[in-house]
A and B are shown apart, each in its own frame.
Chain A
Amino acid sequence: MSPVTPPKPSPFAALLELPGNVWKSIFRNPLPSNDLERSATSFTNFFLHIHPVKVHKNSLRPTYTFGLGLVSFFLFVILIVTGILLMFYYVPSTTQAYDRMLDLRGTVAFGTLLRNMHRWSAHAMVAVVFLHLCRVFLTGSYKKPREFNWVVGVVLFLLTLFMSFTGYLLPWDQLAFWAITVGTAIAGYAPIVGKDMQFLLMGGTSVGQEALLRFYVLHVAVLPSVLILAIAIHFWRIRKDGGLSRPEDADPTINLEAIPAVKASVLEPKKTYGLQGLVRGPLTKVGQIPDNTVFSWPNLFLAELFTFVVTLSAILIVSLLFNAPLEEPVNALHPPNPAKAPWYFLGLQEMVSYSAFWGGIGVPTIFVLLLLGTPYLDRGPKGVGKWFSRDRLLANTIFITFVVANIIFVIIGTFFRGANWSFVTPW
């Protein structure tokens, strides 16, 4: 067996192989053809290594998650990209902001599309994040061991709202100005700290240049950083908490009797143990136990790509069909009647019209505290991984009541309120 002499590389061949070599240097794996390569694809790619190598079939069921978490994330990505592009044109100044909006609408290449995409993605993100929250609640997925990730999720929801709220002011038109005036006024109803909070947020006693600058900094720097960090924690915890929740009967029961419980140390007393030897639990189950998992490549990745394509197309279509609103330039002396907050706060505004404290602060605070505390109050282990499980009738009923009430208030506030907040019918 003589050593094979490598053929002398000719410069021409190197040139021919250039595309292939560049490709291989970027992607270490060829398109996978066996299980080993399928696993390697997941963990040798920077962007894919957040995924597990194998994923449970239950997690891939479209009707279980509706891909809501992913849609939220993709919307966020769209928002970051369009937002950064918009930042090139925007000036957070009361004398220039509105003119910049006009430029975006009329003169800047793709300006209208950018603004539309950013606007509609922002609205969609608020809605989808909320739906995602509902999905997680109604499938009981906040239960042990996912309690903390639920808390992170609720924080993410609040951050999303705040993010959208701070962005609302930036066009500096009448819609923005008065929505923020109303929104910050709601914050002012909080006891003790309310007025100070309002002052801190607006940098004064009314919405003006200071408020615009503060909202801008919050919107483009502070909140996105916090949001990205929280999203990272949220994703990391999904892996560490054992993937997506699933019903107990989704996994085959493991007959522990069949396999003698052995301590790793018994096998090779002299050996220093690798990571495998320290795994908690009775055994490593690779290859020995039937399970319901499939390889992430291609099952999970195709599903994710599909979700992305659908999300992007939907936002593009909406952005082509509907223009983001731009009303009159700000006139602080001429409030529209009625002045309305952004739609997702109209439920609050509607409640504020009944009672300033309870509507603006009391009820929302109770709702948020209940949400945050849910996994620590509802300790029953049953009903995880099933929509509307009968074991969680009470929790689901309370939750749905809150949600439906809020949705009704939002609808009333949006469509049924006219001048002086009097009841009107939209038809």
Chain B
Amino acid sequence: MRLALAIGTFFILVIHGIVFYNQFGHPWERNQNTYFDQAKVLAKTDTEKAALAARRPRIEQIVVSNFGETRVDRCTTCHIAADDPRFSSHAEPVKTHPYSATLGDYQKDGKWERRHKFAEFGCTVCHDGQGRGLDAEYSHGRDEYWPDPLLGFTTQENWRKDFAPKLKGKEYMEANCAQCHTDTAFAGTALVTRGRVLFFATNCYGCHRIEGLSDGTIGPDLSDVGRKWKLDYLWGRIADPKSILATSIMPKFNLKDEDIKALVVFLKSRKGRNFAETEIQRFKVKLTGGAELVQATIKPVQINPKEMVKQGEKLVLDRACTACHKLGERDGGIAPDLSQEGLIKDSEWIYDHFKNPKSTMPDSIMPAFRFTDDEFKAMTAYLVTLKGVTAPPAGEAIYKNYCLRCHGEKGDGHGPIAEHLDPYPRDLTKAGFMNSKPEARLVNSVRNGVAGTSMPAWGKLLNEEQAKAVLSYVQSSFTKEPRREVKPHAIPEKNPVATSKESADRGEALFVNRCAGCHGKKGDGKGPNSLDILPKPRNLRNSFFVNSVDDKRLFDSIEYGVQGTAMPSWIDYGLTHNDVGDLVNFIRSINQKPKGGQHAAAIQ
């Protein structure tokens, strides 16, 4: 017992010894002593030498409160020669911080003067890193938890090995320069400027919001992305979006490394709030939305009427349309194929869709991009020239060529781009639906399309025979059950209730009572039950669709249900012809003014 006690006590003493040794043997003290010794050799006068001899190692710090929160930078504790010009050719850390005319440093009486004096700016405002630390590991931000490692110098252990080498280089520090130098064309922040141009040129702004620059809503807000994320994450999210978030719908833009670097530096400079900004400036930008900045950033292409198609092609290919759409070999895997756009859409539709995608397809996720009208016209002119290839005769080949992208390999509606479409593509394996519709209607859907949805009119590509061929292929491969004899339903020839406000009000009351569970109170198809239902309940505010179907079909769907979907037969739940008449009047009343067409006049 006593021996153990003695050993234990000795042990405690030893540990305390180690602790004390660590405490008083700091590397920074050695650095400072090295500096004192070398400075003594360089010293010219005896007083200077005496002063150096009297100096003892101590913690040096610069406290800066000019830039946001108070910064305490102890970097000069190790980098003690940073402001001593005699050490310009020594090795780090006892080395002079380089003087550079591009940083604004100037020579006065043969001596360099700094534009950004350390005492006023500190270090971390430009370099990042952890100013408070006295240990290289932590101060340089090598430990994975520090959010701002030295910009362009320090990479962290857990960064992706293939990205990390690309994230070195002092040009990354431009992101911090831009915290004060906010002019859009500041010479010292060329990469930020380039990144800003790319942000618009590659259509990032369509999905992402950056306060004062853009207001996209599909992707995350990037206003303070530079404060939230480190370089490797920004690089990764642009170069390989799905590697970081498997569910990301961000397209993989095929950018060159220099372009990604410019974007990363630009994004790193977005820290929510710049030091240069005042409250009133922020407020003004908020009021105007910053729309004019976009036009100032990218120079619009001067459209020459004679070369419209060519210029349009260049725009479509250069400005990242194929990051989502398919066009020839390029395929973004998110949006429909444009290869035969000229045969399935007309120029009015395309132009309207450009100006405001939702005006032609109410639930489209395509952002409204800010091209000039002339540019839109040129792109439209190019797209209508796209005729694709002649449709093959066999049903299977037709399906694989045109239908598979949305309806899927198995015909179940889960095609590669299906999740980005609203309404969702029809599940062709649902025999209940497919077999209860007369063939004429299916052929009509194929050849004339379904208004207000992503199903285009294939009529110019597929003749009656080809449409029937593809339908019989669908029938035999996916639906599989033989076509049933459809019993004629007892539905009125025309709406028995006259259109009136009272009728629509009765219809609304009935709708809220019976239909809102799935179709939603607003009729937008987003009722509380809609999440569990596939196919999704129809958006009854999609005027293009609603106006394309006649009363007879509405009566049929409501009274006898839609087989293969969750829509029940309401005749069985006690609705009369008159009730349904009221409902139809209500549905018609909320689709009075179809949007779209307001821009089409410009195309003529």
Contacts and interface: CB of A to CB of B under 8 A. Distances in A.
A331 B133 CA distance: 21
A99 interface: yes
Interface string B1-35: 11011001101100110110001000000000000
Given A102-B133, A317-B15, A107 B1 contact: no
B79 to A, nearest CB: 15
Given A107-B134, A306-B8, A316-B19, 9 more contacts: A99-B132, A105-B133, A106-B74, A107-B74, A109-B23, A302-B1, A309-B8, A316-B16, A320-B18
Contacts of B573: none
Contact of B12 (A103, A113, A302, A309): A309
Nearest to A110: B23
Contacts of A401: none
Enumerate the 4 nearest inter-chain pairs by beta-carbon distance, A residue then B residue, closest first: A309-B8, A106-B133, A102-B132, A316-B15
A126 B376 CA distance: 68
Contacts of A331: 228
Interface stretch (A268-276, A322-330, A408-416): A322-330
A313 interface: yes
A237 to B, nearest CB: 28
B72 interface: yes
A327 B145 contact: yes
A329 B130 contact: no
B19 A320 contact: yes
Report the contact-size class of chain A (Cβ under 8 Å from the partner): 20 to 34
A312 interface: yes
Interface in A160-202: 173-174
Interface of B: 1-2, 4-5, 8-9, 11-12, 15-16, 18-19, 23, 59, 69, 72, 74, 130, 132-135, 138-139, 145-147, 228
Nearest to A329: B147
B142 to A, nearest CB: 13
A316 B23 CA distance: 15
A235 B301 CA distance: 86
B506 to A, nearest CB: 43
Interface in A65-115: 95, 99, 102-103, 105-107, 109-110, 113
Interface in A264-305: 302-303, 305
Given A309-B8, A317-B15, A103 B132 contact: yes
Chain A at the B interface: mostly helix, strand, loop or mixed? helix
Given A302-B2, A316-B12, A328-B146, A107 B132 contact: yes
A313 B15 contact: yes
Contacts of A309: 5, 8-9, 11-12
B8 A328 contact: no
B69 A306 contact: no
A80 B47 CA distance: 50
5 contacts: A109-B23, A302-B2, A306-B4, A312-B12, A333-B228
Nearest to B4: A306
Contacts of B138: 102, 105-106
Interface of A: 95, 99, 102-103, 105-107, 109-110, 113, 173-174, 302-303, 305-306, 309-310, 312-313, 316-317, 320, 326-329, 331, 333-334
A312 B23 CA distance: 20
Nearest to B146: A328
A374 B19 CA distance: 46
Nearest to A173: B145
Contacts of B139: 106
B8 A110 contact: no
A328 B5 CA distance: 42
Contacts, number: 66
A415 B489 CA distance: 62
A236 B134 CA distance: 48
A105 B139 CA distance: 11
Nearest to A316: B15
Contacts of A328: 145-147
A149 to B, nearest CB: 28
A298 to B, nearest CB: 9
A102 B130 contact: yes
B133 A306 contact: no
A353 to B, nearest CB: 21
Contacts of B132: 99, 102-103, 106-107
B106 to A, nearest CB: 35
A55 B18 CA distance: 38
Contacts of A105: 133, 138
B15 A306 contact: no
A313 B8 contact: yes
B18 A313 contact: no
B146 A306 contact: no
B72 A313 contact: no
A327 B144 CA distance: 8
A328 B145 CA distance: 5
Contacts of B23: 109-110
Contacts of B228: 331, 333-334
Contacts of A329: 147
Contact of B5 (A305, A320, A334): A305
B444 to A, nearest CB: 45
A309 B15 CA distance: 12
Nearest to A98: B132
A310 B133 contact: no
A362 B139 CA distance: 47
B2 A106 contact: no
Given A106-B134, A106-B139, A302 B5 contact: yes
Residue among A303, A312, A334 having the largest count of chain B Cβ atoms under 10 Å? A312
A105 to B, nearest CB: 7
A279 B16 CA distance: 50
B253 to A, nearest CB: 24
Nearest to A111: B23
Contacts of B5: 302, 305-306, 309
A329 B147 CA distance: 8
Nearest to A310: B8
A312 B4 CA distance: 14
Residue among A95, A106, A109, A174 having the largest count of chain B Cβ atoms under 10 Å? A106
Nearest to B19: A113
A179 to B, nearest CB: 15
Contacts of A110: 19, 23
Contacts of A317: 15
B145 A326 contact: yes
A312 B139 CA distance: 31
A397 B74 CA distance: 59
A110 to B, nearest CB: 6
A328 B15 CA distance: 30
A103 B132 CA distance: 6
Contacts of B4: 306
